[in-house]
A and B are shown apart, each in its own frame.
Chain A
Amino acid sequence: MNKKIGVYICHCGGNISDYVDVEKVKESIETDEGVFLAKTTMFACGDANQKEMVDDIKKNELDGVVVASCSPKLHLLTFRAVTERAGLNKYNYVHANIREQASWAHSDDKPGATETAIHLVKAAIAKVRLAEPLYPFIINSKKAVAVIGGGIAGLRAAIELADMGCPVTIIEREHFVGGRVAQWDVLFTTNETGKEVVTKLYNEVIRHDNIKLLTGAEVISNTGSIGDFTMKIKVTPRYIKEKCNEGHLLKAIAVCPVDVPDEFNFNITGRKAIYHNFPSEYPQTPVIDIKNCTRCGECEKICPSVDFSQKEEILEINVGSVLMATGFDSYTPADGEFGYNQFENVITLPQFKRIIDLNDKKLIFRGKEINKIAYIYCVGSRQIDGENKYCSRYCCTSVIYAAMQAKHKFNEINNYHFNRGIRTYGKQEVLYAESLKGGDIYLQSYEDAPPTVEQHNDKITIRINDILTAKKEMSVEADLVVLVTGMVPRADNSVASLFKLPKGRDKFFNEIHMKLRPVETVIDGITICGACQGPKNIMESVNSALSAAIKSFSYVSKGELELEPIIAKIDKDLCTWSGTCAEACPFDAIKMVKDEKKDVAAINNSVCKGCGMCLPVCPSNAINLIAYSDNEIESMIDALAG
């Protein structure tokens, strides 16, 4: 309480002083206990005043500073920095907002505004009297990152982390890497195939000693927090020995009697219980899908590499940060949505892309040659009534490119695009122009009058009131209807709940700030990237993957982390463990621990964000928030009420 306090009262040009009598404020507080000097200033934030403050603090050895000016949102950090430059701990600075809370709020009542300002400054002085220097917590941070998801974003992030010298574990749920991109054939704008892109990444991944790739692997539990996540991972075996004989395996696949829908081809084809998605997919060893395997033993007879003795493993890994790249699912239309699951030749865009890839010379679907193709856009995106309000970003470009592929690859294809406005943004616009020139026909409707799909005598007719032709009713008889389905969050996103990752209204994972902190989450140490965060094309996924890699690396690179000291603190003597604090904590930062004879609450310093939710619910008032203790707050209330 032996403070020497400096108080600066800002005119803010006239923003404050036009309504608040700043001289009167100064006079009212300069004799308060502990106030060593009090000044008014035209602009507290101005360079000259900042310099004067530094000099004042140094010369007079002040140990508490108050600036009464604008909102702390604007300049708290500015003045904290001033005190630091003067060699004072920044927590010995307290900000009083007399602009938004006094002059602007009470511009019709100047004496009242002045009175309010005096109380606000007195409250700030009361708080600074009790302020103590605080220092950041230092915690250890394990230099290793877990990348969850081995699609294009996860692979690219892992390579980047490994290049920076950080050990990485890739945890991929499927038995093959590449995620969705592996399923696409030729890609715009580079004209590479998805396979080629994945191959490039895979080759780099296996070249790195720093990267451990786990396939068929799922996180089943997580404990710990930033700097120290401990996860248990269940790894399902392939039931096939590494370095097996290729010829034997092909025969083994041939004899397998099981036939299940092939998810890789979006269920338009079937596959065996022993399978690989396509030749030379990575890792190259095939897999036995043990859930669908009948254990008939046919494959074992032919191929000695089949090994049913392999066992499921549980691994434990410890990392300092987790990078989530779990990707997306394609929207599955409801039964009857534009004839889906109602008429035979109504399929989704991902299925269509697989059909283009699987056919040669002629486009055949269900035994019939396809010539006229109708594409219905925004299915599952930009819904008026449904949940998915967002635009899925990739689909316009993807479908136009697929339609052009079909035209190039097969003869006599006519494309009809039933859209709601084409969004081939950025460099992708050239594709739209090319498609138009190629003779593709575009018809447009508003969201409230979508096209209709009907089937009579084996013929599918699509009708639309085309807004580009004065809402004239148009019809097309099509051989195939492609529903241009957007992106939705993974149906099974249970891994997120292990980390308590928050989701947005659209059910994708949420970042802290869309523009300024786009890959961080409110769970410290966990970054997100790729389409698990929201619809993205490949380029955007890789962009975000690289930022997430850098951000994750920043958590672990030094081996230790500095954390904000303003957090909750338990008074063990008062605590009787009611558990209410743990329930109230949104960050899961409070755990029960044994302390001598009784159970008490303990705060995990690296997880607590100092939000204060636990304080009011404690029945024995055993929790204080550092820098906002009961003493400090009560003294402020006294000053405000005095």
Chain B
Amino acid sequence: MAAINPEFGKELKNYGAFDFNACYNCGNCTAVCSLSTEEDSFPREMVRFSVLGLEDDIRSSLKPWLCYYCGECSTHCPQEANPGELMMSLRRWLTTEYDWTKLSGLLYRSLPLTIIGFIIAAIGVLIFSALEKFNLQSIMHKGHIFEIIAIAAVFGFILLPNIIRMWWLIILKPKIKVPVIKYLTGFGDLIVHMFTQKRSLGCDDNQLRWFEHFIIVIGYLGLLFTTVFLDWFSNDSLFVIVLGYAMSIIIFIVTIDFMSDRIKKQKEMSKFSQPSDWMFVVWLFLMGLTAFIVRLFIDTGLIEKNIWLYLFHLTILVQWALIIVPFGKWTHFLYRSFAMYFAKIKS
């Protein structure tokens, strides 16, 4: 027996959803969706759950992650209830549900809090630089160490516990029995989906979107690898230097296209941008661009006189690593991959 809770709808509107109440249950959205199947039918069911406020059912559902927001549902909705945007909002809501710190919820709901977080990070970088007496070598060295520690800490203390929470909500709490062997055999799927977003190829819209997404994942992971593990800024190997340039170029060029989509608002998925969407794409862009210029300045010997540039890059990096990665849109990348994994082992 489920109790109806109309307040949930109001709560959901903090995450971007709007007008989904207008749904009169025709099911056109589900009929037109190229990813919806008989076993996993959406988005109408999710719209319905949201209207009725069936939080438990949404919390234990993987369906929001099965959608890749081609926007066909919103285009075909006769009531303009925007099921596509609702699915996006449910993903945002779910990330806050998985997050044990509950910080992501705060940041999604309040733009001022997010900005304060960003400012604190920037001030932190300044204080740290002052303590290092603005010595570039030492700042760069410790910046690199920070990267390694931040990755380990964010993953160990936030992301991993959150994935365990997700596992608990989706598999353990509903008491779904999964044989251990399935956890192992399904692992391949996790890796494939994480790197390729294979499922989104099933969307009927153009395949360029998938390709761009694929490229940016490669670029991002490539840059991460080059800077963190190969220490790009301090490495003299020509191969590593060129690789770093290539990866950072990929990032800032593709993100320019993403940003222009959000400005033009022609595609259904780019029509409604939340602050979290903007931050994700802008910070990714800035990260690619500043890394590129920093290395360029190093190669041209200008960096010594332009230490501010590295500090700016470091600020972007800190904000990205401590706010956007653990609490922002970055987590979608992780949860989506795990959603595919859980879907696979559940079946």
Contacts and interface: CB of A to CB of B under 8 A. Distances in A.
Contact of B4 (A444, A468, A474): A474
A-B interface, 5 closest residue pairs, ranked by CB to CB distance from nearest: A468-B25, A437-B22, A436-B22, A473-B1, A469-B48
A439 B9 contact: yes
Interface string B36-48: 0000000001001
A468 B52 CA distance: 11
B22 A473 contact: no
A442 B52 CA distance: 9
B207 interface: no
A437 B24 CA distance: 10
Contacts of B24: 422, 432-433, 436, 442
A433 B23 CA distance: 8
Contact of B1 (A441, A470, A474): A474
Contacts, number: 52
A475 B3 contact: yes
B216 interface: no
A69 B24 CA distance: 55
A41 interface: no
Interface string A466-502: 1011101111110000000000000000000000000
Nearest to A477: B3
A416 B4 contact: yes
B21 interface: yes
A474 B79 contact: no
B79 A433 contact: yes
Contacts of B25: 444, 468
Interface string B1-33: 111101001000000000101111100000000
Interface string A125-150: 00000000000000000000000000
Given A433-B79, A470-B45, A474-B52, A439 B2 contact: no
A414 interface: yes
Contacts of B2: 472-475
22 contacts: A414-B6, A432-B24, A433-B24, A436-B23, A436-B79, A437-B22, A439-B6, A439-B21, A441-B51, A442-B24, A444-B25, A466-B52, A468-B25, A468-B48, A469-B49, A469-B54, A470-B45, A473-B2, A474-B2, A475-B1, A475-B3, A477-B3
B279 to A, nearest CB: 30
Contacts of A472: 2
Given A432-B24, A443-B4, A463-B1, 4 more contacts: A437-B22, A474-B52, A476-B4, A477-B3
Which of B6, B9, B54 lies at the interface centre, i.e. has the most chain A CB atoms within 10 A of its CB? Answer: B6
**Interface size bucket, A side?**
20 to 34
Nearest to A422: B24
Interface string A349-380: 00000000000000000000000000000000
Contacts of A470: 45
Contacts of A477: 3
B19 A437 contact: yes
A440 to B, nearest CB: 8
Interface of B: 1-4, 6, 9, 19, 21-25, 45, 48-49, 51-52, 54, 79
A46 B48 CA distance: 62
A469 B1 contact: no
A472 B48 CA distance: 11
Chain A facing B: main interface SS: strand
A422 B1 CA distance: 24
A470 B6 CA distance: 19
A437 B48 contact: no
Contacts of B19: 437
Contacts of B6: 414, 439, 441
Contacts of A463: 1
B230 to A, nearest CB: 53
Contacts of B9: 439
Contacts of A442: 24
A475 B21 CA distance: 19
Contacts of A468: 25, 48
B22 A476 contact: no
Contacts of B48: 468-469
B4 A475 contact: yes
Nearest to A439: B21
Contacts of A474: 1-4, 52
A473 B49 CA distance: 13
Given A414-B6, A436-B22, A436-B23, A441 B45 contact: no
A466 B23 CA distance: 15
B90 to A, nearest CB: 16
A278 to B, nearest CB: 35
A277 to B, nearest CB: 37
Contacts of B1: 463, 473-475
Nearest to B2: A474
A231 B127 CA distance: 103
A466 B54 CA distance: 13
Contacts of A438: 21
B215 to A, nearest CB: 40
B83 to A, nearest CB: 14
A441 B49 CA distance: 11
Nearest to A429: B24
B345 to A, nearest CB: 24
A351 to B, nearest CB: 24
A528 B51 CA distance: 45
Candidate in B21, B23, B45 with the most chain A CB atoms within 10 angstroms? B21
A460 to B, nearest CB: 14
A469 B19 CA distance: 19
Interface string A387-419: 000000000000000000000000000101000
A575 B69 CA distance: 90
**Of residues B3, B52, B54, B79, which shows the largest number of chain A Cβ atoms within 10 Å of its Cβ?**
B52
A439 B81 CA distance: 12
A439 B51 CA distance: 8
A1 to B, nearest CB: 73
Contacts of B79: 433, 436
B314 to A, nearest CB: 47
A505 B235 CA distance: 94
A429 B268 CA distance: 27
A24 B204 CA distance: 72
Contact of B52 (A432, A433, A469): A469
Nearest to A444: B25
Contacts of B4: 416, 441, 443, 474-476
A422 B2 CA distance: 23
Nearest to A468: B25
Contacts of A476: 3-4
